[in-house]
Structure 1
Amino acid sequence: MSKRFVFFGLVTIAAFLNGCAGATLLPFPFDPGGRSLNSPFSDISPRLSGRYIVFASDRRGTQDIYLYDTVEQRLLNLPGLNSLDLMASSPAVSDNGRFIVFAGSRQGITGIYLYDRDFRQLRNLTDNIRAEVRNPTISADGATIAFESNARGQWDILLYNRAGQPLAVPTDPR
């Protein structure tokens, strides 16, 4: 059986691995059924953190979130994360792979969602924000989530903790 290589987001992943010094082709196994990182499906927004690659894909006919373990070279099961009524995009993962944050759209309303792999729990962190939100990211330890919101008529960056509470950002550098 011949091996194929990951081509989606390769420049992005290679830049993370090599500090933009040059591209490295990552030889992950190809699976036409979509059970591996490399597949014939549309995989978007890959992000690397620690040993994990998280990305959105249309592998099951809906845009869902997938988590790939580069050490075990397999997709990890994410029970309770993906649902038919939620279109997921822009995922990020903590270094230990426990927390996944992503933007989701349900009936035209956007939210920033946090998934805890240990408890198999999905929460909308931005239920209280009556505005559009996008582009989430998560700190390496999974304690802080940053994302954009247009609640004030412009795109601002907001910081929240895992409990969904806004974090105060000091404005005075002293």
Structure 2
Amino acid sequence: MSARQQRAKRLLWGIVLILTGLIVACSPPVNSQIEPTTLNSRYTEEQPALSGNGRFLAFVSNRGGTRQILMYDLQQQQLVDLPSLNRRNAIAESPSLSYTGRYIAYIANERGTPVIELYDQATQRSQILPLGYRRGVRNPSISPDGRTIVFETSRRGQWDIEVLDRGFDVELDIPDGSPVSQE
């Protein structure tokens, strides 16, 4: 093998080693959580929201290598399973919880278009709220009973506050035995 071929071979191996190191360094770790029951991990955790009864905490985390909403039960000291809440093709942000945490209002940003979604733990489904805005929405906040959602919108070219009443026929999030008063 000539000296030129040997240099080319060493250069090729050097490139392979560098690329392998970059791939390993950029890959998410196999065990992305410190412990499945811990509130904080070694990853970014932000935008906390507390349920009205003080039992549940929702927050945005990048534990799995993507931004997702997680919920932690402060009483049981463990994460709550939220099937179908986080989609692979959408970034979830700004969670807000109803009184018992049954409803989670949040922003889902898919392909650069933010929409307000509502997750119902009883049905384990998310739905996009029919707002019909072509412009931005941000910072949703759900009422303790889950009927009303307030948020910011830029549909008039500035940030304004909007109120969405989900109506009389929604199942309210109220503590057991509480009287229901719908006006």
| TM-score, with structure 1 as normaliser | 0.72
Identity among equivalent positions (%) equals: 41
Secondary structure, in 3 states, of the residue corresponding to 1:115?
A: strand
Instruction: Write the distance in 1 (CA, Å) between the matches of 2:38 and 2:50.
Output: 16
| TM-score, with structure 2 as normaliser | 0.69
Give the root-mean-square deviation of aligned CA atoms: 1.5
Q: How does 1:11-160 map to 2 (within 5 A)?
A: 32-33=34-35, 35-49=37-51, 50=53, 51-126=55-130, 128-160=132-164
Cα distance change on mapping 1:159 and 1:138 into 2, 3 Å? same
Report the counterpart of residue 161 of structure 1 in structure 2. Answer: 165
Structure 1, unaligned stretches of length 5 or more? 1-30, 164-174
Instruction: Write the distance in 2 (CA, Å) between the matches of 1:130 and 1:99.
Output: 25
Cα distance change on mapping 1:44 and 1:140 into 2, 3 Å? same
Structure with higher helix content? 2
Shift of 1:38: 1.8
Instruction: Write the distance in 2 (CA, Å) between the matches of 1:36 and 1:69.
Output: 10
Q: Please list every run of at least 4 consecutive aligned residues from structure 1 whose deviation after the TM superposition is greater than 3 angstroms.
A: none
Shift of 1:36: 2.2
Paired positions, count: 133
* Structure with bigger gyration radius: 2
Structure 2, unaligned stretches of length 5 or more? 1-32, 168-183
Instruction: Write the distance in 2 (CA, Å) between the matches of 1:80 and 1:38.
Output: 22
